[in-house]
C-alpha cells in the first residue's frame, strides 16, 4: 500500500441480501467510479464461527443472533479497496446504516428502504445490503479477518489516477 497520510485501504462486504438481489456489479461499479482501486475480492460462504467473529462487538445484543443468521444465509462478496480517504469515501457511498435514512444516490438510499421498526417486525435485523469499515482500526481488523496478505493484488495505478 502507498505510504501516505491520506491513502487508505478499507474493507467492504456485500451481504447475502445484496448478492441474492444480483446487485454485486452495480455496487462494485459505484466504488470504482468514485476512483477507489479494487485490490482484493472473493465470493465467500460464511460459516457461523466467522460470522460471530465478524460481529463480535455486538455479542450480547438482541440483534446479534439475527445478524449472524443474515450473514450465513447466503454468499457474501468480500472486497478490499484503496484510495485517498478510502474509509470515509466508502461510508459516504454506502449511506446511513438505516436504509430509510440513507441519502438518495447512496447504495442503501437507492436500493433499500427498510427501517429499524420494520426490520424488528420481520427479521429482527436490518437487511441493508452492505457492510463497510468505519475507522482505520476496524478496517485493519476486518481486512485481517477476511483476507490473507497473499490474496491482495500487487499495487497498480489506475489510468485515471492523476484525477483522484
The helix-helix angle for 86-94 and 24-33 (nearest 10°) equals 130
Residue 2 scores a pLDDT above 90:
no
Sketch the domain layout of the chain as residue ranges.
7-147
Residue 151 scores a pLDDT above 80:
yes
Helix and strand numbers (H, E) in the chain are 8, 4
Catalytic residue among 58, 85, 113, 131: 131
Q: What is the pTM of this model?
A: 0.92
pLDDT at 155: 75
**How many Cα neighbours within 13 Å face the side chain of 62?**
7
Q: Distance between CA 86 and CA 134 in Å, rounded? A: 10
Q: What is the pLDDT of residues 92-141, one digit of tens each?
A: 999 999 899 999 999 999 999 888 788 777 767 788 999 999 999 999 99
CATH topology of domain 7-147: Alpha-Beta Plaits (3.30.70)
Q: What is the pLDDT of residues 47-97, one digit of tens each?
A: 999 999 999 999 999 889 999 999 999 999 999 999 999 999 999 999 999
**Active site includes 131?**
yes
Torsion from C-alpha of 67, 73, 49, 31, nearest 10 degrees: -70
**How many Cα neighbours within 13 Å face the side chain of 111?**
23
Q: Distance between CA 68 and CA 51 in Å, rounded? A: 5
Q: Distance between CA 79 and CA 14 in Å, rounded? A: 8
Q: Looking at per-residue confidence, does 4 or 113 come out higher?
A: 113
Instruction: Read off the pLDDT of each residue in 12-28 and give the average, rounded to a whole number.
Output: 97
Amino acid at each position: 500500500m502507498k505510504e501516505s497520510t491520506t491513502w487508505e485501504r478499507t474493507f467492504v462486504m456485500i451481504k447475502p441480501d445484496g448478492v441474492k438481489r444480483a446487485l454485486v456489479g452495480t455496487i462494485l461499479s459505484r466504488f470504482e467510479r468514485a476512483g477507489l482501486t479494487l485490490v482484493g475480492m472473493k465470493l465467500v460462504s460464511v460459516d457461523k464461527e466467522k460470522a460471530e467473529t465478524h460481529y463480535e462487538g455486538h455479542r450480547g445484543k438482541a440483534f446479534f443472533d439475527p445478524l449472524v443468521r443474515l450473514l450465513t444465509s447466503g454468499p457474501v462478496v468480500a472486497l478490499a479497496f484503496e484510495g485517498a480517504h478510502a474509509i470515509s469515501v466508502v461510508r459516504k457511498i454506502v449511506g446511513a446504516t438505516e436504509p430509510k435514512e440513507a441519502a438518495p444516490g447512496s447504495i442503501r438510499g437507492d436500493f433499500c428502504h427498510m427501517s429499524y421498526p420494520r426490520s424488528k417486525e420481520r427479521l429482527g435485523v436490518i437487511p441493508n445490503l452492505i457492510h463497510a469499515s468505519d475507522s482505520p482500526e476496524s478496517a485493519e481488523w476486518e481486512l485481517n479477518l477476511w483476507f490473507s496478505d497473499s490474496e491482495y493484488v500487487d499495487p497498480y495505478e489506475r489510468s485515471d489516477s492523476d484525477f483522484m
